[in-house]
Structure 1
Amino acid sequence: MVGTLAKKNRRSLASRYWFDASVVAVALILLSIAWPTLHVTHRVPIAAMPFIAGFAAFPILLVRVNPALGWAVSAGSALLIALAVPHQPGSDIPFQVVHILTLFALVFAVAVRSPLQIVGVAWISTSLLFATTMAQAGDSFAEAGFGWPIAITGLVVFGLLIRWVVVSRQALVKQEEETELERARRAILEEKARIARDLHDVVAHHMSMVVVQAQTAPYRIDGLSPAAREEFESIGTGARAALNEIRGLLGVLRSDGQLPEHAPQPAAADIATLLEGALRAGVPLTWTVEGSLDTVPDTTGLALYRIVQESLANASRHAPGAPVWVRIVRDHDLTLAVTNGPAVGTRAADPSGTPGSGITGMQARATAVGGDLVAAPRPDGGFEVRAQLPLPAATLGPDALSALGTAG
Structure 2
Amino acid sequence: MTEPIPAPVSAHTPGSRRWTRFLPYAAALTSTALLLPVTLADLLGRYGLGGAVATALAVAQAGPLLMLARRPLWAWGIAFPADIAGALVLLGEPARQDAAWPWQPSALIACLFLLLALALREPRRTLVTVWLATGAASLVLHLVRPDRGNGGVLLLPLAGAVVLVIGAAVRERRVAQRRLAEQETVSAAERTRRTLLEERARIARELHDVVAHHMSVITVQADSAPYRLPELSDEAREEFGTIAASARESLAEMRRLLVVLRGDGTEGERSPQPGIGRLQQLVETTVRAGLPAELSLAAGLDGVPPAVDLSAYRIVQEALANAVRHAPGARTRVSVASDGAHVTVLVVNDPPGQPVSPLETAGTGHGLVGMRERVRLTGGSLDTGPLPDGGFRVAARLPLSPPGPADAP
- TM-score normalised by L of structure 2: 0.54
Query: Of 54, 60, 83, which aligns to 2:59?
Result: 54
Aligned to 2:250: 242
Partners of 1:219 and 1:63 in 2: how far apart? 93
Percent identity, please: 32
Alignment of 1:65-104 (within 5 A): 65-84=70-89, 88-89=93-94, 90=96, 91=99, 93-104=101-112
Indicate conservation of the 8 Å contact 2:222/2:244, yes or no: yes
Give structure 1 stretches of 5+ with no counterpart: 257-408
Alignment of 1:197-346 (within 5 A): 197-254=205-262
Partners of 2:192 and 2:239 in 1: how far apart? 48
> Residue 201 of structure 2: SS of its match in structure 1?
helix
> Residue 93 of structure 1: SS of its match in structure 2?
coil
Indicate conservation of the 8 Å contact 1:204/1:243, yes or no: yes
Aligned to 2:141: 133
Aligned to 2:188: 180
- Letter paired with 2:32: A
Structure 2 residue 27 is the aligned partner of structure 1 residue 18: no
> Residue 70 of structure 2: SS of its match in structure 1?
coil
Indicate conservation of the 8 Å contact 2:40/2:55, yes or no: yes
CA shift at 1:112, angstroms? Answer: 3.1
Aligned to 1:115: 123
> Residue 101 of structure 2: SS of its match in structure 1?
coil
Distance 1:50 1:148, change over 3 A: closer
CA shift at 1:141, angstroms? Answer: 7.2
Indicate conservation of the 8 Å contact 2:40/2:58, yes or no: yes
Partners of 2:263 and 2:16 in 1: how far apart? 38
Structure 2 residue 177 is the aligned partner of structure 1 residue 159: no
List per-residue Cα deviations over 1:264-284 (Å, max 9, x = no partner).
xxxxxxxxxxxxxxxxxxxxx
Partners of 1:200 and 1:233 in 2: how far apart? 23
Partners of 2:193 and 2:16 in 1: how far apart? 27
Query: Of 159, 172, 179, which aligns to 1:171?
Result: 179
Query: Of 192, 216, 222, which aligns to 2:200?
Result: 192
- Letter paired with 2:199: E
CA shift at 1:224, angstroms? Answer: 4.1
CA shift at 1:88, angstroms? Answer: 4.1
Alignment of 1:368-387 (within 5 A): none
Partners of 1:144 and 1:56 in 2: how far apart? 17
CA shift at 1:63, angstroms? Answer: 2.4
CA shift at 1:165, angstroms? Answer: 2.8
Partners of 1:5 and 1:143 in 2: how far apart? 47
Partners of 2:142 and 2:234 in 1: how far apart? 113
> Residue 84 of structure 2: SS of its match in structure 1?
helix
Query: Of 8, 26, 32, which aligns to 1:27?
Result: 32
List per-residue Cα deviations over 1:386-407 (Å, max 9, x = no partner).
xxxxxxxxxxxxxxxxxxxxxx
Moved runs in structure 1, 4+ residues, more than 6 A? 1-7
Q: CA RMSD in A?
A: 3.4
CA shift at 1:140, angstroms? Answer: 7.4
Structure 2 residue 42 is the aligned partner of structure 1 residue 37: yes
List per-residue Cα deviations over 1:119-174 (Å, max 9, x = no partner).
12111111112222356676477955445433333332333333333333333333
Partners of 1:206 and 1:78 in 2: how far apart? 89
CA shift at 1:19, angstroms? Answer: 3.5
Distance 1:190 1:59, change over 3 A: same
Aligned to 2:333: none
CA shift at 1:34, angstroms? Answer: 1.9
CA shift at 1:249, angstroms? Answer: 1.6
- Letter paired with 2:28: V
Q: How many residue pairs end up in the alignment?
A: 256
- Letter paired with 1:81: G
Aligned to 1:124: 132
Distance 1:17 1:156, change over 3 A: closer
CA shift at 1:94, angstroms? Answer: 3.8
Indicate conservation of the 8 Å contact 2:102/2:153, yes or no: no
Partners of 1:147 and 1:47 in 2: how far apart? 28
CA shift at 1:85, angstroms? Answer: 6.1
> Residue 64 of structure 1: SS of its match in structure 2?
coil
- Letter paired with 1:118: T
Aligned to 1:106: 114
Distance 1:255 1:227, change over 3 A: same
Distance 1:86 1:136, change over 3 A: closer
**Higher relative contact order (Cα pairs below 8 Å, separated by 6+ residues):** 1
- Letter paired with 1:124: L
